[in-house]
Amino acid sequence: MTTPLHTSAPLPVPQVALAIGAHPDDIEFWAGATLARWAAAGCKVHFLVCTDGSKGTWDPTADCEALVRTRKAEQLVAAATLGATGEVVFLDEIDGLLTADPRLVSRIAFEIRRLQPHVVLGHDPWKRYRLHPDHRAAGFLTVDAVVAARDPHFYPEHGIAHFRPESLLLFEADEPNHLEPSDTAWWEAKTAALEAHVSQLETTHLYGIERTEHTAIAEALEKFRARELENLRAAAQPFGKQAGEAFHLIANL
């Protein structure tokens, strides 16, 4: 019999949370159920999206400038679908070319100081064998910005007080040590938010789902929803729980 992983208790619902993702839809994929649950309990949830999502298509003839506009609009709808009442901040870096440079650390640290989130969520930069460079870079930017935001001698040109979040939750975690529970209502909110990213149906949501050109989109989406529910169950199984989203929790920042 496998011994369940030890997990700390679910975090108290924070007053303010800031989720940082590499692309439009990354946040919803990895933390959508958690953010929906928190938002319903009164948390002000903010989003920060690092890149413009301009490479999020397999169509070589696509109008990438139009795609950027579409993906921004989809992200706004998705955040609202989760119940988020905070801001959606776009850094507008070019998709695929994100780097963890001091200029962007400063920008994100400024937003942490300005928005004052009690919990910050972001990609785990130490995940092994990760292919997408933007996810690695977004993770390092998040961690470095948390450090910079908390210490007064980083970026004094911001002109606002330093701020120390209470907890950092890293999603896509290489070594998950924390589970935030989910149930059907939050799974439904998560999948509804993901489905708001209509431009990503072919490249992301329905990727790997067997279907023919005659398969109705509704049928394919049902398979997608079932897959996302199974992902929540699989994430929780090592912790001996029913369903949830797994993170690596760093406290005492």
* H-helix or E-strand spanning residue 136: helix 133-150
Q: Using DSSP, state whether 15 is helix, strand or coil.
A: coil
Locus of tokens 């933007």? 134
* CB contact at 8 A, 209 and 220: yes
pLDDT of residue 219: 79
Annotated domain spans of the chain = 16-251
Residue 116 and residue 139: Cα distance in Å, rounded?
19
Copy the structure tokens of residue 41.
């309990």
Nearest to 178 by CA among 54, 31, 26: 31
What is the distance between the alpha carbons of residues 64 and 52, in angstroms, rounded to a whole number?
Answer: 10
| 179 beta partners | 246
Rg (the chain; Cα; Å): 18
Q: One-letter amino acid identity for 192? A: A
Using the structure block, give the residue that is written with the tokens 């988020």: 84
Strand-pairing partners, residue 121, are 19, 169
Q: Read off the tokens for 137.
A: 């870079």
Query: pLDDT value at position 211?
Result: 52
Cα–Cα nearest to 253, from 153, 154, 171, 143: 143
Q: Is the dihedral of CA 186, 55, 140, 76 positive or negative?
A: negative
List the pLDDT tens digit at each of the 253 positions of the chain. 455 666 679 999 999 999 999 999 999 999 999 999 999 999 999 999 999 999 998 889 989 999 999 999 999 999 999 999 999 999 999 999 999 999 999 999 999 999 999 999 999 999 999 899 999 999 999 999 999 999 999 999 999 999 999 999 999 999 999 999 999 999 999 999 999 998 988 766 665 555 555 567 777 788 888 999 999 999 999 999 999 999 999 999 9
Residues of the chain by 3-state class (helix, strand, coil), percent to 5: 45, 15, 40
Look up the pTM and report it.
0.93
Q: 102-115 vs 133-150: helix axis angle to the nearest 10?
A: 60
Residue type for 240, please? G
d(CA 160, CA 154) in angstroms, rounded, equals: 11
H helices of 45-132, in order, are: 64-81, 102-115
C-alpha 147: how far from its chain's center? 19
The architecture (CATH level 2) of 16-251 comes to: 3-Layer(aba) Sandwich (3.40)
Q: What is the pLDDT of residue 206?
A: 63
